[in-house]
A and B are shown apart, each in its own frame.
Chain A
Amino acid sequence: MPSLIHVENLSKDYRLIRKREGVGGGLVDLVRPRHRILRAVDNVSFDIAAGEMVGYIGANGAGKSTTIKMLTGILTPTAGEVSVGGLVPWRDRLQYTRHIGVVFGQRTQLWWDLAVVESFRLLRKIYEVPEAVYAEQMAVFDKLLGIGEFLHQPVRKLSLGQRMRCDLAAALLHRPRILFLDEPTIGLDVVAKESVREFLREIRDLQGVTVILTTHDLNDIEQLCRRVIIIDKGKVHFDGLLEDLRLRLGRRVRLTVDLREDRTREAMQTTTEGLPVNWQPAEGRHHVAEFRRAEISGAEVIKLVVNACPVSDLHLAEPDIEEIVRDIYRAAGKEHA
């Protein structure tokens, strides 16, 4: 498939000041500051075709946002190249931004003091959206996101969920070819998250926009993206289909058990003797076991534990992105060793 977004050997360094200690050190710092180079993005390459929806995931500080900011033309890279449809984001910024939509979950692109509809009118002018397209898009957004209800409220009075819906609409008003979403569901409740995902699915099918999505929530990825790119410490550790990732890792689940009396780790291990369940080193009343859903069901493990020990509380949790990334990272380390 022809690629729309081409990224090659992309790197970004930050120069951080390394503080010396004490008053004397502080004075020396004034005259001769010491710097440390932090490589936030390290030699990243990938290609994305038109119409793809790609999840770009990694732990905090892995380099996700830095990559997105280079792809949107906000940051200038230290090395490497990016070409999106023949344009270089940071060099051709004015040309390029016409074709993209961006949502940063932590910020809003709406004008804070104005009614929502004023922001949309202004965006219509900024992107020169024809009247007919504007009306059509607003109808779609009202149908899918229900933004009609609060169009005349000032942005500062919206709830986080309402604001996010408006921000999504604002990013898509001009029918961009590419949509960048940086943590679009952060801080939203379950219902709001679901409506955002639903909207993204519909808009992808409806308008064929290419989407790059960073998130902490694995559910976002599972429901939206076929392809994932995993980044850690600035490097790409996995780039492929979500199914392949799952096959490679299995789905790890973590069971937390609180007991009414003390047990050793060995005692806990015997409760699931012969099964692929891994009890983490712990003494006392609090124990944690890990297993893969593909190998054994949660119900089975819970049944064994409850039958063998005086359990006061149980908690079954899916791994978050950070853990998956750690798994990938560990796997990569083993391959090298």
Chain B
Amino acid sequence: MPGAGTTVTGGIEAAAASAPERLLPWGRSLPATWGLYLSFVRLSFLKFLAYRLRYYTGVISYTIFISGHYYIYTALFASSAPAADGTVSIGGLSLPEMITYVAVSWIGRSFYFNNIARELSRMVTEGEIAMQLIKPFHLQTVMLSEAVGESCFRLMMFTLPIVVVIVPLFHLRGPADPALYLWTFLSFCLALVIYSQWNFLVGCLAFYLKNIQGVLRAQMVSMDFLTGVLIPFTLFPHWFQTAVQWLPFQGISYIPVTIFLGKRPGNELYHALGLQLFWAAFLFILARLVFRVAVRRVIAQGG
């Protein structure tokens, strides 16, 4: 209404016009919220589908990586002294278990991996974050939804091809209990939440640091150790094993892989999943709080 205050003529309307303008309060219903974030999942899936070609080379590099570990561990086991019963085990794992550990870790990584930290820090340093802040949504939840969409894509176009190549190549054999496949998948889904929320937190550092590239690289390398994806925890010194028990990272790879290996019998399984659930929820809430504080430090680009 151009010139609302001047065009109205009569009693009640004039009174209403002279009161200060109010913007109506507004909230999104729960179904609408789910609907919105599901559209981000869908769009992210479509986006990655458009770039699917670049993932085919990834299948080759993952295969080479797992092969490298295969030969290292085969040589290591061959040169190790057998125990009294004639079997060889390193860190509580036999050679087939060790190969399975490595393969499943990397298969899992091909599923939960994403670049949220780099993406968020890029948005902050390039000032593009402004375009996200002018929208009525939680950027954190949007990025989580996009990560889920990306992982759906990865599962179909990346993880499955890797499984098809790796399993016959190294004669991998899974657990006899079919339920363990389901629990492992569920556990990797929780891993995705933990991984993405941790990444979001790291990305928030960009609000405070001028150059975050070094931090991103350092955390990427240390994550491969702390999640257990590179080397099983049982090969590390005792103090390291104790330390990682108190960190969220074991929930990204070590827990799902040991579930797959059947190393968590009975209630230990539920305990492990519960621990993952706790870290997922904890990091989600922490990330939301940290973002709320960090966003006050947005610096304008230009005058």
Binding site for B on A (CB under 8 A): 1-4, 6, 12, 14, 40, 49-51, 58, 60-66, 69, 72-76, 84-87, 90, 93-100, 102, 104, 106-109, 111, 113-114, 118, 121-122, 125-128, 177, 204-205, 208
Contacts and interface: CB of A to CB of B under 8 A. Distances in A.
A95 B20 contact: no
A118 B49 CA distance: 15
A39 B21 CA distance: 31
A65 B302 contact: yes
Contact of B300 (A75, A84, A177): A75
A111 B43 contact: yes
B1 interface: yes
B303 A49 contact: no
B136 A104 contact: no
B28 A128 contact: yes
A111 B135 CA distance: 13
Nearest to B40: A122
B131 A104 contact: yes
A49 to B, nearest CB: 6
Interface string B173-187: 000000000000000
B13 interface: no
B36 interface: yes
A166 B128 CA distance: 18
A204 B2 contact: yes
Contacts of A205: 2
A108 B131 contact: yes
B2 A125 contact: no
Given A51-B2, A107-B131, A126 B303 contact: no
A66 B130 CA distance: 12
Nearest to B133: A74
Nearest to B29: A128
B137 A4 contact: no
Contacts of A61: 302-303
B23 A85 contact: yes
Task: Specify which of B21, B22, B50, B137 lies most central, judged by the most chain A CB atoms within 10 Å of its CB.
Answer: B21
B134 A72 contact: yes
Given A14-B299, A40-B303, A128-B32, A95 B26 contact: yes
B130 A104 contact: yes
B136 A122 contact: no
A126 B2 contact: no
B43 A118 contact: yes
A74 B298 CA distance: 7
Given A4-B21, A97-B134, A125-B35, 9 more contacts: A1-B5, A69-B298, A84-B23, A99-B26, A104-B130, A106-B302, A107-B128, A118-B46, A208-B1
A193 B243 CA distance: 62
A65 B303 contact: yes
A125 B36 contact: yes
Nearest to B5: A1
B296 interface: yes
Contact of B298 (A3, A75, A94, A106): A75
B221 interface: no
Contacts of B51: 113
Interface in B1-33: 1-6, 17-26, 28, 32
Contacts of B127: 107
B4 A109 contact: no
Contacts of A86: 20, 22-23
The 10 lowest CB-CB distance pairs between A and B, nearest first, are A85-B23, A61-B303, A1-B5, A51-B2, A208-B1, A4-B21, A102-B134, A97-B136, A76-B296, A98-B136
